[in-house]
Amino acid sequence: MYDAILQGDINLAVTTDILDEYVEVLDEFFGSNELGELIAKTILELPGTQKTTVHIRWKLIADDPDDDKFVDCAVASNADLIVTDDGISGF
């Protein structure tokens, strides 16, 4: 999947909120204040990346409202799938 994303065979939809979370998690994990930002910029430059703007916040995940950003992005970008650490969910 990683190679397919890098080659543009899989489109990746992201929002500013999602990228901000990636930066925060990566900087914390690697103990860096710059690595997360570099990775976020790289994600935006990938051939299949779709920068998405969310207009409706659905508030669908009661157990973890912070994860709503991923569902909102998927709906706004008309995604076929959400791939998470918990697995793959289709629409």
SS3 content of the chain, % helix, strand, coil (to 5): 50, 15, 35
Beta strand 49-51 with 12-14: parallel, antiparallel or unpaired? parallel
At 58-81, the pLDDT tens digits run 999 999 899 999 999 999 999 999
At 45-61, the pLDDT tens digits run 999 999 999 999 999 99
Q: How many separate domains does the chain show? A: 1
Domain hosting 42: range is: 2-90
Q: Are 64 and 24 in contact (CB under 8 A)?
A: no
Whole-prediction pTM: 0.87
